[in-house]
Each structure stands twice: as C-alpha cells, then as structure tokens.
Amino acid sequence: MNSLHTSLPQIAVLATGGTIAGEAGDAAKTSGYKAGVVGVEKLLDAVPSLSQIARIHAEQVASIDSKDMTPALWATLCTRVNALLGQDDIDGVVITHGTDTLEETAYLLHLTVKSDKPVVLTAAMRPSTALSADGPLNLLNAVTVAAHKGSWKQGVLVAFNNQIHSGRDITKTSTYAVDAFRSPEGGALGWVQDGQVEYQRAVVRPHTLNTPFRIAAELPVVEIVASYAGASRVAIDALVAAGAQGLVIAGTGNGSIHSTMQQAVADAAKQGVAVVRSSRVGSGHVMRNGAAPDDALGSITAGSLNPYKARVLLMLALAAGIAPKDLQSVFDNY
C-alpha cells in the first residue's frame, strides 16, 4: 500500500438494492427490470476510479426494491450507520438506495444518525445494465461528496445527477427522468462534478446529533389519507378503529381538507390520534389555521414537509414520547 493510498479517507458503502442495482435482459430497457439484484462488489467494480478518491469498505445491508422498505430495515440500516461512524477509521458513509422511497429514508436518517460525519445517499433511474446507466457516476459523486470535508455537519445528504441535496428537502419528481429529484422550496445545497464539490447554502434546521429522535425497530403506526373531490370520512374512521396512532392528511392546496373529512379529523384528534395536515401539491408549505381551523380541529401543520416526510417525523416524535401539545413545535423546528 503506497502512502497516497493510506492517506485517502475511508468511506463505507452500504448497499440496499434499488434500480442502481437493477438488471434487465436488454440494455435498451429502462423499465420492467428487476431492482436490487446486483451486489455491492459489482457496483463498485463498475467505478474503478473510486480507488483514487477513497478506500472503500463495502457491505450489503439489503437487496430490495425500495417500495418494500420497512421500519425494521430502517433500524438495521441506521444502527449500522451509527456503528460505522463511531469508528475512528471510517470517515463517512454512502448508501445506495432505490429512488422510490429514498426521500423517506434520507429524512429518517437525517433525524436519527448520531454523528457529524458525512452520510450520503445515492441511487439511479436506469438499471446497471442499461445503455447510459446513471448509477456508476452517481456512486462516484456520492463517494466524492462523502470524502469531502465540507460535507461534515450537514446532516444526511443525497448526491444525485451532479447535485447535492439535503435529506430533509429532497423529493422524487419524475417517474422516468434521469434528473428525477428536486428540493422544491430551498433548491439543491450544491453540486459535485469531476471530483469537485461546492456548497452554495447550508442546512439550517437541526438534525443528527441535535435531535431527540432515536431509531427503533418498531415505530408507531402513522397512516396517510388524501383529500380529493368527493372524499369521505370512511378511511379516517377505519384507520382510527384499526389503532392508528397518527394520521397525515395529504390535503388539497394549502392542506385544505374536504368538509366531509373535517369532522373525522376532529373526532380522531379528540380520541388522542395525532393528525398532521400536509399538502399533496408537491411544493410550498401549509400554514397553521390557514386553509383549515387547526385550533378547532386539534390538528398540526406540516410546514414544508410533504406527506411522506411528515409521516416520518410524526412516527419519530410519537416514538420519542413527545406530548401532543409540543408536536406543532416539532414540526416548526425539524
């Protein structure tokens, strides 16, 4: 081992599956393939120049299509990330993930990883066997970002299509485009290209070491219900009867809720179910007592968190035993 090699940072690459590890029989195929089948060593072999950026420690944590992500796997992943980052010889972690639930995992880890070291998720829209597969360059860029000193204390990051996003803000906005992710309100934190990393803004809300949240293998049951033309209260009543501890409403516009659902929200809140109003719009934020009377309904507003991210925060807040009267300030802070 030469001295250049030993002076390189050591980055742990944890693979969980996804399209980045997908395989199709036909290189022209970018849909209808099987996600999560190619092992981490083969993903790394496709990027020989990684050895000039970092020493790689590789682990296969899972091999799933991320639509099948579970709280138990989140717990396994977060526990492993925390253990690796606790080692003096690991300088950062990269996680390869499917794009479909990446925004949920990224936000969950942003709130539950307990380290200042970089954690960077990446993914791909095209399977590893595709013409112009995007996975290898995304992986190279993710390791570049994880090895960069400016990535410390930024919480969990996502490196995708040459951009760097906060795990809090990023959301998938295209079913097929290689440029599939956006951070709708704040935009990307920066960019990575040809080995260079530049940050253009910093993460301001608390994360990682500065949250009270801890990962657990079982999280409280929180479900999502959409409001739409002709919506009824049937879904809310059924979920409350089934024991849901929290509900996120994917409301119309500024989190507005069909009048036929509003009494169900008030009834659920009265029974001790935490109800959060978010929006199905995809960008913007939901104002307290704006499009619905939260004080009267007993509901909480999600701010700029989309329904899927609001669900992650509500599960963690309920698991942390945060009192109902303090839940709004949790959503205002994180």
Please say which residue, 111 or 133, places its beta carbon nearer to ligand SIN: 133
Residue 35 or 222: the one with the smaller Cβ distance to ligand SIN is: 35
Minimal distance, residue 19 CB to ligand SIN, in Å = 3
The residue among 67 and 201 lying less far from ligand SIN, judged by its C-beta, is: 67
If you compute the radius of gyration of the chain from its CA atoms, what whole number of angstroms results? 20
In the set 16, 19, 96, 301, the catalytic residue is: 19
What is the smallest separation between the CB atom of 86 and ligand SIN, expressed in angstroms? 28
* Tokens read off for 275: 């109800």
Measuring CA to CA, which residue among 291, 293, 300, 294 is closest to residue 322?
A: 300
CA angle at 103 for the pair 81 and 250, rounded to the nearest 5°: 135
In sequence order, what are the residues at sequence separation of 6 or more whose Cβ sits closer than 8 angstroms to the Cβ of residue 81?
A: 14, 93, 95, 109, 113, 115, 119
Residue length of the chain = 334
Q: Is 19 labeled as catalytic in the residue annotation?
A: yes
Alpha-helical runs (H) found in 86-159: 102-112, 135-146
Residue with tokens 């990883």: 113
Pairing outcome for strands 190-193 and 196-199: antiparallel
How near is the Cβ of 314 to ligand SIN at its closest, in Å? 23
- Is 127 in contact with 45 (CB distance < 8 Å)? no
Positions that interact with ligand SIN (CB under 6 A): 17-19, 35, 65-67, 98-100, 123, 125
Give all strands (DSSP E) within the chain, no chain letters: 10-17, 55-64, 92-96, 119-122, 156-160, 163-166, 171-172, 181-182, 190-193, 196-199, 222-226, 246-251, 274-279, 300-301
Which residue has its beta carbon closest to ligand SIN? Answer: 98
Identify which of residues 102 and 317 has a Cβ nearer to ligand SIN in the complex. Answer: 102
Strands 55-64 and 10-17: what pairing? parallel
> Residue 99 or 129: which CB sits closer to ligand SIN?
99
DSSP class of residue 184 equals T
CB of 246 to ligand SIN, least distance (A): 24
How many other CB atoms are found less than 10 A from the CB of residue 155? 27
Q: What letter represents residue 143's amino acid?
A: V
Q: CB nearer to ligand SIN: give 131 or 234.
A: 131
User: Alpha-carbon distance 233 to 224, whole Å?
Assistant: 13
Shortest Å distance, C-beta 153 to ligand SIN: 28
Instruction: Give 5 or 67: the residue with its C-beta nearer to ligand SIN.
Output: 67
Measured between alpha carbons, how far is 92 from 87 in angstroms, rounded to an integer? 10
Catalytic residues: 19
